[in-house]
Amino acid sequence: MSAQVTLSARYDVLGLLGSGSSADVYRVRDLASGEERALKVLRDPGDAAAVLAFRREFLLLLRMRHPALVNVHEFEVLPDGRPAFSAEVVSGDSLGALAPLPGPEAIAAVRDLALALDHLHRAGLVHCDLKPDNAVRMPEGNVKLLDLGLAQAPGEGRAGGTPVYMAPEIARGAPADPRADLYSLGAVGYFLLAGRPTHGGASAAEVLAAAQSAPPAPLPAEAPP
C-alpha cells in the first residue's frame, strides 16, 4: 500500500481501513512522531458542500469527546488539495459483521451506543444515521459510534439516514429529533439479536413502507440467548 498510495511526505500509508460515500480512511504512520493514526480523506475537494460537511464532522468530534466516540487529532489539507483529518485507529469489527450476537453482548453494545447518543443529545445534536456499520466493537469489548457526517441539531432541516434503521416519521420528511435516534437504536438492537433488520424489502421504498405499516416480526427462536 505504501508504494501505491502517497498522501503526503508526512505519512507512510499502511493500508486502507475503509471507504464511504465521499471519503476514504487510511491507516497511516506519522513519520515525525512514529504514531499510527487513521486518516480520513475527502475524495472531491471541489465539492464545496462536501468540504463544509467534512470540516463540520471534524469539529463536532473534536467538541464531543467521549469514550464511545472516535478521538480526533488534527485537520489538514493534503498537498493535492484534499481535506483530511487524523484520528485514533479504530481497530475492530463493525457490529454489522458480528451479528447475531449472544444476548449479553448485544445488550453491552446497545448500552455503549446509548451512552454515545446521550452525550450527543445533551450537547444538542442528533446523530441521524445510527446503524450497525457505523459502530465498531474494539478488541477490549467496548463499542464506538462512528460517522457524525449527518449529525445536526433537532429541527434543523430534513434528517437523513439509512432506510432499514430510519424512524417512520423521518421517512415521512420530519426534521431531526433525538427520539428518532432511539428508534434507530432499537432497530440496531433487534438486528444484533436476530441477525437481520426489523423489516425487509426489495427497495428502500418497500422497507420504509413496511416499517410504517407493520411491527417487526418476533425474534427468531434460534436467536442467541
C-alpha 62/C-alpha 148 separation (Å) is 11
C-alpha 137/C-alpha 111 separation (Å) is 12
What stretches of 64-202 show up as alpha helix (H) in DSSP? Answer: 95-98, 103-122, 168-171, 178-194
Which residue in 49, 47, 29 sits closest to 38, CA to CA?
29
Residues across the chain: 225
Cβ count within 10 A of residue 185: 18
The residue to which cell 488539495 is assigned? 81
Q: Give the 3-state secondary structure of residue 54.
A: helix
The active-site residue out of 129, 133, 147, 177 is: 129
Which residue in 138, 136, 137 sits closest to 146, CA to CA?
136
84 to 29, 40, 53, 176: CA distances (angstroms) = 15, 5, 12, 27
- Active-site residue flag, 129: yes
23 φ/ψ sector (left φ>0, alpha ψ -120 to 50, else beta): beta
User: What residues are annotated to the active site?
Assistant: 129
